[in-house]
Structure 1
Amino acid sequence: MSGLSTHVLDTANGVPGAGISIKLYRVEAEQLELVTSAVTNSDGRTDSLLLTSEELRVGKYQLQFDTADYFRERGAVVPETAFLDDIVIRFGISDTQAHYHVPLLVSPFSYSTYRGS
């Protein structure tokens, strides 16, 4: 099944990143077009695919995760000007028959991502 999904893991606390606001943009000529937005559930995932197989198009995309507010709400000391505020991941979709999974592993001071399955 093709489509686009994501999930967030809070590596600072060893739990799923629940309640994180996410925005998905399509990038066209360096202009951002908002495609959809979602909030992660208790498992750190969105309740549905960000892009279904019918919506998946070849091109450049950007996921934006609102992580500073997430960590503040959990009691982490995050300055007003956070080191990591909104984490942006740009990636490309080249095969509309494939599934793209873009996980985010995050703490207040670091993050990593990869193409998952």
Structure 2
Amino acid sequence: MAGWLTTHVLDTARGCPADGIAIWLYRVNGNSHRKIAEAVTNADGRTDGPILPEAKFEIGTYELVFHAGDYLRRTGQVTAEPLFLDQVPIRFGMSEGAHYHVPLLLSPYGYSTYRGS
């Protein structure tokens, strides 16, 4: 069974999906990062398809970088520069051919994630 990766962003401060957030996906090998995909969240806070589809899935270490700063500025949640959270990186491993879902729960001064379904 091949795997795939999905993600979404929820704005926990406002209680809604976070739209318009650019997300970059990197393959990590030691100190080397190689960008392999990018997407932007839609009105539901999700990407329109898997950020890593089955055809490109490989077991390994990855990093999602959520470009949250523009969203936080656009929604008026932050004004001071530099932002406390601008780019939010989440590094994780995928060790089996399965569906991985890595969401970001975002507020201006904190975030969390988990392996979803």
Structure 1 partner of 2:103: 103
**Percent identity among equivalent residues?**
53
Deviation at 1:51, TM superposition (A): 1.0
Q: Write the distance in 2 (CA, Å) between the matches of 1:54 and 1:88.
A: 24
Deviation at 1:79, TM superposition (A): 1.9
Code of the residue aligned with 1:70 in structure 2: it is: Y
Q: Write the distance in 1 (CA, Å) between the matches of 2:62 and 2:82.
A: 26
Code of the residue aligned with 1:105 in structure 2: it is: L
Give the TM-score taking structure 2 as reference length. Answer: 0.95
Gaps of 5+ in 2: none
CA displacement, residues 63-92 of structure 1 (integer Å, 9 cap, x when unaligned): 000111101001122322111110000000
Give the TM-score taking structure 1 as reference length. Answer: 0.95
Alpha-carbon RMSD: 1.1
The correspondence of residues 1-117 of structure 1 with structure 2, limited to 5 A, is: 2-96=3-97, 98-117=98-117
Deviation at 1:35, TM superposition (A): 0.5
Corresponding pairs, count: 116
Q: Which runs of 4+ in 1 moved over 6 A?
A: none
Gaps of 5+ in 1: none
